[in-house]
């Protein structure tokens, strides 16, 4: 019998992930933030539910979405970079209550490498995160909420996401006096994101923490200058600062637990 996978957040990564899982024979359900978006996706054959998570509760049809799921993938970003003062922990506490009410057996919570602080240097899953900003601190708290919940949860900490039209060099083109030129990049291509999540589901590797970051870590100045050249963009210019603190995020568990090898160059 086909297993049912729920994707909370049908966005840049969630939509192609849904397509990939559907192709493998899984039944897939997903959420968007409004009834209008849900209707539009339903017309395209995507089983979408309107679910909006706020600081006061969860609106829409969360139990309809969560009903009979074998695995839930939570990829709802904190949205804290915009300094809105949002309480991501409170929002996700409300959502987790819905998840536990529905008794979803397995969960994958999508986190990011921002839970590690730059002062930590080289880190793997064996290192405890020491976040340096509010977004990282809240994300770390939510990781703990899900990891210790009633669902058997794996945490996936993605590096910077690239793929499709998303290439950070476009945002840096022509900019000057950029900081962190000597810091290593911590990136992952969208296709590898999909492959990693699929591997966790097919191998049923729940209850683990995975740093999902490509093992190639060139320095930012060299990497983004080269990418700008490839794309025909104005070159970015980085300030000279040899004392920049940095983190390099690597993974032990992708290979030792999943047996995973990266498919796409960054």
Q: How far apart are CA 221 and CA 240, in angstroms?
A: 10
Which of 154, 152, 145 lies closest to 109 in space, CA to CA?
154
pLDDT over 70 for what percent of the chain?
Answer: 97
Residue 66 sits at φ, ψ, to 5 deg, of -80, -15
Residue 105 in this model has a pLDDT that exceeds 70: yes
Residue 150 in this model has a pLDDT that exceeds 70: yes
249-261 average pLDDT score? 97
Q: Terminal CA-to-CA distance of the chain, rounded, Å? A: 37
Look-up of token digits 């910077």: 160
Per-domain residue ranges for the chain?
4-161+188-215+247-256
pTM above 0.85, yes or no: yes
For residues 91 and 146, the answer to whether their CB atoms sit within 8 Å is: no
Rg of the chain over Cα atoms, rounded to whole angstroms, equals: 19
Q: How far is CA 137 from CA 87, 113, 140, 203, 220, in A?
A: 11, 12, 5, 30, 24
State residue 161's pLDDT score. Answer: 96
Categorize the per-residue pLDDT at 109 as very low, low, confident or very high, splitting at 50, 70 and 90.
Answer: very high
Residue 83 in this model has a pLDDT that exceeds 90: no
Categorize the per-residue pLDDT at 80 as very low, low, confident or very high, splitting at 50, 70 and 90.
Answer: low
Q: How far apart are CA 206 and CA 161, in angstroms?
A: 23
Categorize the per-residue pLDDT at 165 as very low, low, confident or very high, splitting at 50, 70 and 90.
Answer: confident
Residue 94's contacts (CB-CB under 8 Å, 6 or more residues apart) are 53, 54, 55, 56, 57, 58
CB neighbours (10 Å) of residue 258? 20
Domain 4-161+188-215+247-256, CATH class in plain words: alpha beta
pLDDT 10s digits, 210-242: 999 999 999 999 999 999 999 999 999 998 876
State residue 81's pLDDT score. Answer: 57
Q: How far apart are CA 119 and CA 16, in angstroms?
A: 35
Strand 160-162 to strand 187-189: parallel, antiparallel, or no bridges (unpaired)?
parallel
| Alpha carbon 200 to chain centroid, angstroms | 14
Residue 82 in this model has a pLDDT that exceeds 60: no
State residue 76's pLDDT score. Answer: 93
pLDDT 10s digits, 24-79: 999 999 999 888 888 988 888 889 999 999 999 999 999 999 999 999 999 998 87
């Amino acid at each position: 019998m086909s297993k049912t996978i729920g994707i909370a957040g049908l966005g840049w990564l969630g939509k192609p992930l849904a397509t990939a899982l559907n192709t493998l024979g899984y039944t897939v359900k997903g959420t968007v933030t409004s009834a209008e978006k849900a209707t539009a996706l339903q017309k395209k054959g995507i089983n979408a539910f309107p679910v909006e998570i706020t600081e006061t509760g969860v609106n829409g049809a969360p139990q309809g979405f969560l009903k009979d799921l074998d695995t839930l993938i939570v990829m709802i970003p904190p949205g804290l970079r915009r300094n809105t003062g949002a309480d991501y922990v409170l929002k996700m506490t409300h959502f987790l209550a819905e998840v536990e009410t529905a008794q979803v057996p397995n969960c994958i919570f999508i986190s990011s490498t921002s839970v590690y602080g730059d002062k930590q240097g080289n880190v793997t899953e064996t290192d405890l995160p020491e976040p340096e900003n509010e977004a990282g601190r809240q994300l770390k708290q939510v990781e703990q909420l899900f990891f210790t919940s009633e669902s058997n949860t794996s945490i996936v900490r993605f590096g910077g996401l690239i793929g499709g039209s998303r290439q950070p060099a476009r945002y840096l083109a022509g900019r000057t006096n950029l900081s962190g030129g000597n810091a290593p990049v911590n990136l992952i291509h969208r296709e590898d994101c999909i492959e990693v999540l699929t591997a966790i589901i097919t191998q049923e590797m729940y209850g683990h923490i995975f740093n999902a970051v490509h093992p190639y870590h060139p320095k930012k100045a060299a990497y983004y200058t080269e990418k700008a050249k490839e794309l025909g963009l104005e070159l970015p210019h980085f300030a000279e600062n040899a004392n920049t603190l940095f983190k390099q995020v690597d993974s032990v568990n992708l290979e030792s637990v999943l047996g995973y090898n990266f498919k796409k160059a960054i």
